[in-house]
Structure 1
Amino acid sequence: MPAHQHVAVVGASLAGLRAAEQLRAAGHDGPITVFGAEPHLPYNRPPLSKEALADPRAAEPSGLAERLSFRRRAGIADVEFRLGDPVTSTDLAAGTLATESGHRTAYDGLVVATGLRPRRLVTPGPTAGRHVLRTVEDCHGLSAAVRRRGSVRVVVIGAGFIGCEAAATLSTLGHTVTVVEPAGPPMARVIGDVLAAAVQRHHEAAGIRFVLGTGVTAFTGDDRVTGDDRVTGVVLDSGETLPADVVVEAVGSVCNTEWLEGNGLPLGDGVLTDNHLQVAGASRAVAVGDIARFPNPLFDEVPRRVEHWSIPTDTAKRAAATLVALLAGELPDGVPFAPVPSFWSDQLGLRLQSYGSPALADEVRIAEGDPHHLPGGLLARYHRDGRLVGTLAVNIPPARQRDLRSEFAVLVPTA
């Protein structure tokens, strides 16, 4: 490999950090620069909707980022982190990028790790009082809003994992919480209708109200009430208006791909790659984390993005090996890349742990437990065309969870 080849890692979250570490582990000894839009070193995001949101110390973003920061592994002390200056464009053919401040950098290899940002509702009404949860600043803003007084009325729009976790946390803090979800029961797209209905019953027993099958058409506000034209209500397409002091929008994500435009890449849903994680249409670029849309032969050959916790680390290891090979003028490793996605979620005394891709299933089988008593433990297996594609464990001991993951090892294809 030519000496001193420069690799630019664009995105300073977990995927970018792991990519830098794995580049060193794979033998890249040239300079590495990690570019981040946020002013913080990479930190752990899942707690932002759970324990960090419940922690009074969330009032100060930089301190929260420091408490949640990842321990950097040995070998990357010489990696440069350029933070608080997002990359706004790149020329893949020329191997250059530009940041918001006007800084320009040349690179030999590129790692795309810019991830996602929260989708926002485009509806009439005031914006003050409407929150998302992605960054420590978001967590700080929501925490401050609900701590201004005693109990507040919170409307969470979206019953995916972030919405349900935020609803659960805010409910335990003593707030009145209503969850609005036009698509149906909470997390149904991922865990299926039977388990979604069971989670809904569990949350309702804790006092959370669900309004399903209806969307949001507007937000009401009255500066005579709040003094600054903040949200006072959420108007549903059913005609009902839900009173709200605080709104949490958890309606999905948008891929941060704008900086890649103009290079002829397919950017319709993240960044398309091959199974080696090489960006389609780029010679020395790879993608990692939840922005990468790659085929996983563990399931089929359809390229998909995966927004699960395990994916940044898994993709970083493979992408780093691919990029090191490409920079050396060699072919990437031919062994199929077949990671086992995994995620967990803590909600109101329930620990949900999943392996595989339950969302791909056409059949759900309850192997253990009772959906009407989730705290007692439950195991569900998800099949597609009779083949195991996912598992979901609720309040199952950690040792059992490791066994569940190992079930997928026999499904991993070989070269």
Structure 2
Amino acid sequence: MSGSAVAVVGGSLAGLRAAEQLRIAGHTGPLTVYSAEAHLPYNRPPLSKEVLADPDLADAEAMVARLAFRRRAVVEDVDFRLGAEVTAADLATGKLTLGDGSGESFDGLVVATGLRPRRLGCPGPVAGRHVLRTVEDCLDLRADLAPGSRVVVVGAGFIGCEAACTLTTLGHRVTVVEPTGAPMNRVIGPELAVAVQQHHEAAGIAFVIGPGVSAFTGTDRVTGVTLDDGTHLPADLVVEAVGSVCNTEFLAGNPGPDLTDGVLTDNRLAVVGVSNAVAVGDVARFPNPLFDDVPRRVEHWSIPTDTAKRAAATLAARLRGDEPDPTPFAPIPSFWSDQLDLRFQSFGSPALGPEIRLEEGDLDHLTAGVLTTHHRDGQHVGTIALNLPPARQRQLREAFTAVVPTA
């Protein structure tokens, strides 16, 4: 194992944590992190909130300095290759191809490539259309804003709502278009979603629920959005927040892995059909026995760290020729979202629970605190806490650690 070379493809949080955990797991051989971005790993959630709103962060360097993750001493000897996109991997021969045409060899592989924003395929100009994933995206959006800009946000998921709230507080006129229902309804449930929509509308955000986008108007740049029902929304710029695409193209053509939705792994994060690869972060599709045996990707803040720890242990064991730890891997997904004067905190997987119970609070007074629990076939699978104090949130998390599956 000491001489085995490990390649971590992807240089965001999941890649960083995987490198750290490989060293902690005892891997002493060459370890290289390949990052398509030109920056060391940094924190992305603030890009739609406080970083977007802070004019003092005037360039990418300043943003990354604010957002960069602290790297542990254990990765001092890890080679971080910035701006080094991996375009192909031959899993049978252990060869990577980089964007500049050069090649690298590996004995073990960590897939940590994450996601990129999905783009709408509607006709119309491209200029004036934005996404929020990188510091460059955030800078481009901010540079395109003028005082009182008319902004159409397409998509009322968490990123879309966060961006809409931030832009509203900056004085822009924001309309959110969402064809599937009230904001964030798939995760938080329809009743709370309607209450959140009303809360945001009271702050000046307009919502168009039902029709989708059919076209963008304008010649050289966007001047408006045309909806399926013929409605035209004037826009100085558009933010597309319509989901994500998994970055798995570099694995295409290999006969082993299932890339249907991310990278299919077993419960130990080993890539199914491949002997020397693991996947981490929101690109990994794995079964979680807290809920069932269905492999799913989880796009939550906690998942990169949780999966990196288990995947590193699995890969390190395989490189030693040992059997990986058989203890079930049962992480508790968690995330938070800040929107205006509301702070959402989630534990578990609320979207899996069709039965929703209002445990605390009043949906007409969200700022005073609300708690909902989500259930499936009698099992508590998720919790949404809104404006509850930290001590109460800790209690809610502990409710999921009370019963952990065993082998």
Q: TM-score, normalised by structure 2?
A: 0.99
Unpaired runs of at least 5, structure 1: 223-228
1:395 equivalenced with 2:394 (yes/no):
no
CA distance in 2, matches of 1:55, 1:102: 39
Q: CA RMSD in A?
A: 0.7
Aligned to 2:197, what secondary structure does the other structure show? helix
1:169 aligns to what? 166
CA distance in 2, matches of 1:73, 1:384: 40
Q: CA deviation at 1:359?
A: 0.2
Q: How does 1:342-381 map to 2 (within 5 A)?
A: 342-381=334-373
CA distance in 1, matches of 2:58, 2:288: 41
1:139 equivalenced with 2:138 (yes/no):
yes
1:4 aligns to what? 3
Q: CA deviation at 1:59?
A: 3.1
Structure 1 counterpart of 2:69, which letter? F
Q: CA deviation at 1:103?
A: 2.0
CA distance in 2, matches of 1:202, 1:101: 50
1:210 aligns to what? 207
Q: CA deviation at 1:138?
A: 0.2
**Per-residue deviation, residues 359-383 of structure 1 (Å, max 9, x unmatched):** 0002010100001110000111111
Instruction: Answer yes or no: is the 8 Å Cα contact 1:58–1:143 preserved in 2.
Output: no
1:244 aligns to what? 235
1:269 equivalenced with 2:261 (yes/no):
yes
Structure 2 counterpart of 1:362, which letter? P
Instruction: Answer yes or no: is the 8 Å Cα contact 1:58–1:139 preserved in 2.
Output: no
Q: How does 1:66-81 map to 2 (within 5 A)?
A: 66-81=65-80
**Per-residue deviation, residues 328-381 of structure 1 (Å, max 9, x unmatched):** 111110000000000000001101000000000020101000011100001111
Structure 1 counterpart of 2:109, which letter? L
CA distance in 1, matches of 2:340, 2:221: 29
1:119 aligns to what? 118
1:159 aligns to what? 156
2:13 aligns to what? 14
Q: CA deviation at 1:61?
A: 1.4
Unpaired runs of at least 5, structure 2: none
Structure 2 counterpart of 1:123, which letter? C
CA distance in 2, matches of 1:42, 1:328: 28
Which one is further off, 324-333 or 306-315?
324-333
Paired residues in the alignment total 406
Q: CA deviation at 1:58?
A: 3.8
CA distance in 2, matches of 1:219, 1:326: 51
1:219 aligns to what? 216
Q: CA deviation at 1:410?
A: 2.2
Aligned to 2:113, what secondary structure does the other structure show? coil
2:405 aligns to what? 413
Q: CA deviation at 1:106?
A: 0.5
Q: CA deviation at 1:409?
A: 1.0
Match of 2:147 among 138, 143, 150: 150
CA distance in 2, matches of 1:57, 1:120: 29
Q: CA deviation at 1:411?
A: 2.8
Q: CA deviation at 1:308?
A: 0.1
1:188 aligns to what? 185
Aligned to 1:126, what secondary structure does the other structure show? coil
Aligned to 1:66, what secondary structure does the other structure show? helix
1:289 aligns to what? 281
Q: TM-score, normalised by structure 1?
A: 0.97
Structure 2 counterpart of 1:176, which letter? R
